[in-house]
A and B are shown apart, each in its own frame.
Chain A
């Protein structure tokens, strides 16, 4: 089980770091570049921190990270579970007295939670750095940028990121595993199970995101 957990973290987090970092850098660069241009026209450049923290760190970062994990690992989890079911491996586990939910689902859930939470932290770090690069192109100093961002960024944002990581990661594993294990008919049902799992996870993540906003406010 430990090996499955480590493999899950390796595939879900480690192998996705560059993709997450790349997208975080592009997103933050675009958002900050556009924001500086527009805010500068109204002399409201100090609101840059609010945009960075509220839009990128609190909302888009967790959402985008979760979507990347769903598209990479959620599909893999659903397909793997469905294959396990079709190949009779789930029945074989039950026949050996091994709970398939403990053996198959639990390590994937723990792996997804650790991975999503970690990737969200990576996303935030890269986005903040990239945001500075965008700001620097307009002549903003590091001290000013840091001051503007830190004025809005709080410890609560860090906790919120971790809590979102736990919930979003669990959603990826639970929904994709559920739809994968629900396969009955045969191999032709596997792609349908993957689609169902991914769609359900995306819907769940958006709903949870909205709930977090409601709860946080």
Chain B
């Protein structure tokens, strides 16, 4: 599934987030942009991540990731395609029977053909980058919310994706922790900028300073720029 060159990393085109044909959502993310979609509960903001990952298909309209209509891909093509994306689900989505380190290692072990030593080196680097060394051996249930979120974020960028989707990444975090998380996620391994879509109920002023654009989602429509 090659990406279409020169296309935006993520496009929502006339998507009815709430299933209403009169309320269509449009949003285009340009390369390197960090876009926040801010919305209340049931505003439609909660399905943006699932749509971007192809976990749900839009009722109409299109969601294009790197120029490909993601809903048209078969299940196994989707699995392979998603390895190019980073995803932090609401909460953290960490596997409870694995340590934080093993959770971070999971995509590198399963979605690449790296050798064991390369996997270890890569995971160690991520553990360092996301300041997880002291607690890397803990299970998710033994770690606090901030540590779990950082581990999930490290896992999301483990394959150095060009596009990262973060769903409600700042719930329960202090402004400082939220800024730290977003800064680390939005930088790629070469020091450049990743394209990031984050969803949130609200944005603190400090986090607002880190996003390129923020749109408010009301009743399934991106209604205004709130930055």
The chain A residues found within 8 Å of chain B, CB to CB, are 80, 83-84, 87-89, 91-99, 103
The 5 A-B residue pairs with the shortest CB-CB distance, nearest first, are: A92-B93, A97-B83, A95-B87, A97-B82, A96-B107
Whether A95 contacts B89 in the complex (CB less than 8 A), given A83-B96, A89-B96, comes out as yes
Q: Bin chain B's interface residue count.
A: 20 to 34
- Interface pairs (23), CB distance under 8 Å: A80-B97, A87-B93, A87-B96, A88-B89, A88-B90, A88-B91, A89-B96, A91-B55, A91-B93, A92-B93, A92-B95, A93-B95, A94-B79, A95-B53, A95-B55, A95-B82, A95-B87, A95-B93, A96-B87, A96-B106, A96-B107, A97-B81, A97-B111
A198 to chain B, nearest CB (A): 21
- Contact indicator B106/A98 (Cβ below 8 Å): yes
The chain B residues found within 8 Å of chain A, CB to CB, are 53, 55, 76, 79-83, 85, 87, 89-91, 93-97, 106-107, 110-111, 155
A98 contacts across to B, CB distance below 8 A: 79, 106-107, 110-111
- Contact indicator B96/A99 (Cβ below 8 Å): no
A132 to chain B, nearest CB (A): 43
B146 to chain A, nearest CB (A): 18
Q: Which residue of B lies closest to A90 (CB)?
A: B93
Whether A96 contacts B96 in the complex (CB less than 8 A), given A88-B91, A91-B55, A91-B89, comes out as no
A88 contacts across to B, CB distance below 8 A: 89-91, 93
Q: A89-B95, A94-B79 are in contact. List 7 more A-B contacts (CB 8 A).
A: A83-B96, A84-B95, A88-B89, A92-B87, A92-B94, A95-B85, A95-B87
A111 to chain B, nearest CB (A): 14
Complex Cα spacing A95 to B93, Å: 10
